[in-house]
Amino acid sequence: MARSIFHSFTKNLDVTDLRWIPEEGMSAGRLRIELLSGLTVALALVPEAVAFAFVAGVHPLVGLYAAFLVGLITALIGGRPGMISGATGALAVVMVALVAQHGVEYLFATVILMGLLQIFAGFMQWGKFIRLVPHPVMLGFVNGLAIVIFLAQLSQFKMPGTIENTGHGMGGGEWLSGAPLYLMLALVAATMAIIWVMPRITRAIPAPLAGIGIVAAVVIFAGLDVPRVGDLASIEGGFPMIHIPFGEGMGLYGTPLAPLTLETFWIILPYAVILAAIGLIESLLTLNLVGDITNTRGGASQECVAQGVANTVTGFFGGMGGCAMIGQSMINVKSGGRTRVAGIAAAVFLLLFILVGAPLIEQIPLAALVGVMFMVVIGTFAWNSFRILRKVPLTDAFVILLVTVVTVYKDLAVAVVVGVIVSALAYAWNNARRIHAKTYETPEGAKVYQVQGPLFFGSTDGFVELFDVVGDPTRVVVDFADSRVVDQSALQAIEAVAGKYEEAGKRLELLHLSRDCHRLLSKAEQLMVDSDDDPEYGIAVNYQVRTGVLGGH
C-alpha cells in the first residue's frame, strides 16, 4: 500500500535519488565529512533563524521550528542532495505585514496554504519553467543575494540588547565603537583567515567549523567581552525550551490557530501565493546553483513538492515556513556535504541545540558566525561578472545590474520577474529588428520576396512595411523558406498583406509555409502554393482556431 502511494506520488515528477547513502556506499571518511558539514550548517542556522523570526515579528522558537522541520523534510525528499532549507529573510519580510495586521495565528494558516500551493506546482511540473530564467538574471540573483547576506551581518556590529525589530529587518541599535569594535573585527578576520588557511592544512574538518570552534575557544577561555549568540537571543528572553500545552483551538506546540472559515481563506490567500512564489523561485535558483557546483541536474518539480510538504507540516507545528537558503547551502557544499546525510544531520543537530545545547550555543561569539557568512559572501558573489559586463551585450549587462539592485532593495521574487521580463522584451525587440526580405524578379515577371527572420507579434509591423503594393507587378510570391511564422499575430499580418494586394487587383502567392499555417489561414486555398519541401512546425494558436478568430476553421 505504502509503495503504491509513493509511486502515485512521484510518477509524474522528475524524481532524483532519494537514498541517504550514495550508490558507491558511505565510507567512514565520507560519513565524518557529512556529519561535520551538517554540524557547521546547524551552527550557522541558529542565529539566522532567530534573526529572521525577529524580522517576521514572531517568537524565536517559531523560526527555530521552521529551520528544523523545513530542513529535515527537504533533506529527506528534496530535489537535490546538498541543499539546505530553513527560515529565510526573503519570506520573513512578507510575513511581517501579515503578522502585524492579522496576528501570528494567521501566519501558520498561511504557511499551510503556501505549502499546498507549492505541492500543486510540483505536481503540475511547473518547476521546469525555471529554465526560462536567463543567465544574466542568475548572475544578478547571486550577486544581489550575496550583498543581502553581507548587509544582514552588519546588525551584529551593534550593542547587545539594543537591536530593534523595525519591521524591515534588524535595526535601530547603537553601533559598536572603540575597543569593542576593533575586537569584533579582529575575531571576524581571524575566523575568515582560519577558513581560508584550513583547507591547505587538512580537510578532515570543514574549514567553517574549524573557524567557529577555534575562535569560540579563544573567546571562552580568554573571557573576552564580545557579543555572543546568547546576547542575540536575550532580546526575546533567551532561547526557549519546547513546551507543549495542547488544547482546544491550539496548534501542536501551543500556538493559536486561525478560524477555519472562508473569510480566513480570503485573508491568507494573497500572502500564501506571494510566499509560495518567492519560496519556489529562491529554492529553484539555489537548486541550479548547487547543481553547477556538484555537477547534478534535474529534480526541480520534486523540490517544489518537497518545499510544499515541508511548509505544510511546519505550519501545523507552529513554524514560520521556509525555503532553500543559498548561504547555508554554500556552507554545506563547500564543507564537503554531498548527500542527504548532511542536511539531515544539520536538522538533527539544530533540534539538539534547541532541546539541550542552548547554554553551549549561547557562548559562541557572533564574530565567528559573521566571519563564516562573510566567507560565504565572497564565495557566492560572481566576481567574474565585473569582467563579463564589458564583454556581454549592453542589455545583458543592464539585466545583471538591475536584478542585483532590485534583489537588494526589494526582494528576490520581484527581481527575478523583472529580470525575466526585461530579458524577454530585449529578445523580442532584437528579433523584431531581424525581419527583412531579399527581392528578385522571375523570368515570367513575378516579384519574389524572400522573407528572412522570425515573424511574430514584435515583427509584424516591419513585415508589412517590406512590401511595395503599389509598385509591385500583378503577381507576387512571398517565400518563407528562411523565416518562421510564430504566432497568431503573424498570421494576421500575412492576411493583412494579402488583403492589400487583393484590393489592388494583384495576385499574392505564399510559398514554404507549414501545413499548420495552411490550415489556419482563412484564404489558404487562394494564397498557398504547395511544395515538397514545405517546413513542418506548429504554431500556438489552437485557441484561436477553436474559437474561429482566424475565420471559418
> End-to-end CA distance of the chain, in Å?
49
Distance CA 313, CA 56 (A): 19
14 φ, ψ to 5°? -85, 70
CA distance 194 to 206: 11
Residue 506: all three cell numbers together: 494583384
User: Is residue 333 over pLDDT 70?
Assistant: yes
Answer yes or no: is pLDDT of 247 > 70: no
Helices (H) and strands (E) in the chain, counts: 23, 9
Task: Tally Cβ neighbours within 10 Å of residue 37.
Answer: 30
503-515 per-position pLDDT tens digit? 999 988 888 877 7
Q: Output the pLDDT for position 16.
A: 56
Crossing angle of the two packed helices 340-352 and 28-56, in degrees rounded to 10: 60
DSSP bridge partners of 479: 450, 511
Residues 6+ apart with CB under 8 A from 103: 256, 258
Q: What is the pLDDT of residue 18?
A: 62
More confident residue, 504 or 133: 504
> Sorting pLDDT into bands at 50, 70 and 90, what band is 327?
confident
What is the spatial distance between Cα 163 and Cα 152, in angstroms, rounded to a whole number?
13
Q: How far apart are CA 192 and CA 210, in angstroms?
A: 10
117: confidence class by pLDDT, cuts 50, 70, 90: very high
Give the C-alpha separation, 237 to 231, whole Å.
9
| DSSP label at residue 506 | -
Is pLDDT at 249 greater than 70 in this prediction? no
Average pLDDT over residues 159-182: 64
Which grid coordinates are listed for 247?
A: 488544547
pLDDT of residue 320: 85
Q: CA 177 to CA 195: how far, in whole Å? A: 26
Is 60 exceeded by the pLDDT of residue 106? yes
Instruction: Tally the C-alpha atoms within 13 A of residue 486's C-alpha that lie toward its C-beta.
Output: 13
Domains of the chain are 28-381 (no CATH), 433-547 (3.30.750.24)
Kindly report the backbone phi and psi dihedral angles of residue 450, in degrees, each rounded to the nearest multiple of 5, phi listed first: -95, 95
How confident is the model over 193-224, as pLDDT tens digits? 998 998 888 877 778 888 888 999 999 998 88
How many other CB atoms are there within 10 angstroms of residue 536's CB atom? 7
CA atoms within 13 A on the CB side of 469: 15
* Contact between 512 and 494 (Cβ < 8 Å): no
Residue 62, phi-psi category: left (phi > 0), alpha (psi -120 to 50), beta (remainder): alpha
**pLDDT at position 250:** 42
